[in-house]
Amino acid sequence: MAGNIIFIGNFIHADLLTELKLRTGFLKVEDGKITQIGTLQEYESLVRDGAWSNFKINRLNEHQFLIPGFVDCHTHAPQFPNIGLGLDRPLLEWLKKYTFPLEKQYSDPKFASKVYDKVVKRLLTNGTTTACYFGTLHFEGTLELVKSAIKHKQRALIGKVSMNIKNDAEYYNDTQTELAEVEKFVCKVLEYENDLVQPVITPRFAVSCNQELMDGLSDIAMKYNCRTQSHISENQDEIEFVLQINPTCKSYTEVYDQSKILNNKCIMAHAVHLSDHEMALLANKGVSVAHCPASNTRLRSGLCPVRRIINNNITVGLGTDVSGGDNASILDAIRRSMDVSMSLELQGTKDSSLNWKEAFYLATVGGAKALNLDEKIGTFNIGKDFDALLIDIYADNSQIDYYESSTDPNSKEYLMELLERFIHVGDDRNIVQELLDTQIQNIKPNSFTEIPMA
């Protein structure tokens, strides 16, 4: 049956934070799921037996390999028109001056549809096969993001942003309207019965949402078994303000804990300035963290101690956080996470840096775990969805030129070097787009054409 496909070549995924799994062999995909994995010898003997005569065969060359699709655990689709602009103010001023005025424009679903279509395509081009998105306050506008993700077959968690505390931009709803709109949004997304897209409850942060709203939102999350996402402890002024308006709470984390939104289906972005006590509370509740290094430096929020968060048994994935972050690519987030953590180490915090293998883990299976999607994606294992990127190190126009290597091209070391180079200097030109275009998560019968091989 068309739609059934066998890849022959090299496959790499991260099993543990410190352990990459490199395989040379075959990987069989049937109707979008990985159904068999084996060695080249096993493949040859099965072919001799005529077992797979009706499968499409894709033989990767020695400069190509498969990795799991990237997971962006935190980004703001409506903020893409501002990417690279207005980064001269710290968080609260930046929101007021640049972000809320832009987001208000998404009351127009036509504008929303135009932007969101481009955003989803941009992320897929960069290898982000799964994204956890903030939309805006608007029901219709955010529904356009759902439609774009479904249209382009991106796996997505999508939240209609909730806010009920007054701001200068008049960009908020009263509590009852907001709760009704969120429930309507959740029901509408669930109506699509699409395996790829889920609604996510999205209180913007404790500066924009009071306890009454957050209580109501946590009830909706419980009722529909939804994930929750928000921001926590990103910037010192933000933390001060949150404690000022919640005088009975000792910490930012406690503010969220009071409204029961902290649980093992909750992901919090940033977590730059958490105390040990707050980290223990998050770990205890099973909350995961989206580490957004680009945004944290661009908005001068701080250097996030990502190693300390990991060591506190909190599941961590990476986020681009556009447009606080200035880059839509998870490859950039990987590099920025290495740089930020190395800056902390260079300033004297021992053993805080992440190496490239660890950052690759966070970008793939770490993100999948942080979004509770690791039963479906993140690694190459039998039974999982085939959600992969085909990497070609020497693709046309690649930043990486071919040089004869002294490493044996048939060795694991050689393959490791290819991945190391992709992680450090690769970009979308090294991601073979045909594989993405033919829809990796949901290969439908007759919809998968053979990938041209070099």
321 binds Fe ion (CB under 5 A): yes
**Minimum separation from the CB atom of position 282 to ligand GUN (A):** 17
Binding mask 304-323 for ligand GUN (x = CB under 6 A): -----------------x--
Residue 220 near residue 259, CB atoms below 8 Å: no
Specify which residues 9 forms β-bridges with: 25
Q: Which amino acid is at 432?
A: V
Query: HEC profile for 78-107?
Result: HHHHHCCCCCCCCHHHHHHHHHHHHHHHHH
Among 28, 160, 231, 335, binds ligand GUN (CB under 6 A): 231
- Among Fe ion, ligand GUN, none, what binds residue 234 when CB lies within 5 to 8 Å by partner kind? ligand GUN
**Minimum separation from the CB atom of position 424 to ligand GUN (A):** 26
Residue 104 CA to residue 110 CA, distance in Å, equals 13
Kindly tell me which of 99 and 126 has the beta carbon lying closer to Fe ion.
99
Residue 132 near residue 371, CB atoms below 8 Å: yes
178 binds ligand GUN (CB under 6 A): no
The CB-nearest residue to Fe ion is 321
291 binds ligand GUN (CB under 6 A): no
Nearest 5°: the CA angle 432, 446, 196 is 65
Nearest to 269 by CA among 322, 217, 216: 322
Number of Cβ within a 10 Å radius of residue 419: 22
Q: What CA–CA distances, in Å, run from 172 to 140, 161, 164, 210, 361?
A: 15, 9, 5, 12, 37
For 224-351, where are the E strands, in sequence order? 227-232, 266-270, 288-291, 316-318
Among 152, 160, 204, 336, binds ligand GUN (CB under 6 A): 204
Kindly tell me which of 10 and 230 has the beta carbon lying closer to ligand GUN.
230
Cis peptide before 337 (omega within 30 of 0): no
Report 387-406 residues binding ligand GUN (CB under 6 A): none
Nearest to 438 by CA among 163, 144, 115, 58: 58
Supply φ then ψ for residue 421, to 5 degrees: -70, -40
Window contacting Fe ion (CB under 5 A); options: 61-69, 275-283, 316-324, 444-452: 316-324
For 98, the token pair is 């640049």
Residue 200 CA to residue 314 CA, distance in Å, equals 20
- Among ligand GUN, Fe ion, none, what binds residue 352 when CB lies within 5 to 8 Å by partner kind? none
CA atoms within a 13 Å half-sphere pointing along the CA-CB vector of 159: 28
Kindly tell me which of 189 and 269 has the beta carbon lying closer to Fe ion.
269
Nearest to 209 by CA among 266, 162, 176: 162
**Minimum separation from the CB atom of position 234 to ligand GUN (A):** 5
**Minimum separation from the CB atom of position 412 to ligand GUN (A):** 40
Report 47-76 residues binding ligand GUN (CB under 6 A): 76
- Among Fe ion, ligand GUN, none, what binds residue 99 when CB lies within 5 to 8 Å by partner kind? ligand GUN
Window contacting ligand GUN (CB under 6 A); options: 36-44, 91-99, 195-203, 434-442: 91-99
Total residues in contact with Fe ion, by rule CB under 5 A? 2
Q: How many residues does the chain have?
A: 454
Binding mask 242-281 for Fe ion (x = CB under 5 A): ---------------------------x------------
- Among ligand GUN, Fe ion, none, what binds residue 205 when CB lies within 5 to 8 Å by partner kind? ligand GUN
Among 69, 159, 324, 366, binds ligand GUN (CB under 6 A): 324
How far from chain centre, in Å, is Cα 108? 26
**Minimum separation from the CB atom of position 204 to ligand GUN (A):** 5
234 binds Fe ion (CB under 5 A): no
Residue 323 near residue 80, CB atoms below 8 Å: yes
Site for Fe ion, rule CB under 5 A: 269, 321
Site for ligand GUN, rule CB under 6 A: 76, 91, 95, 99, 204-205, 231, 234, 295, 321, 324
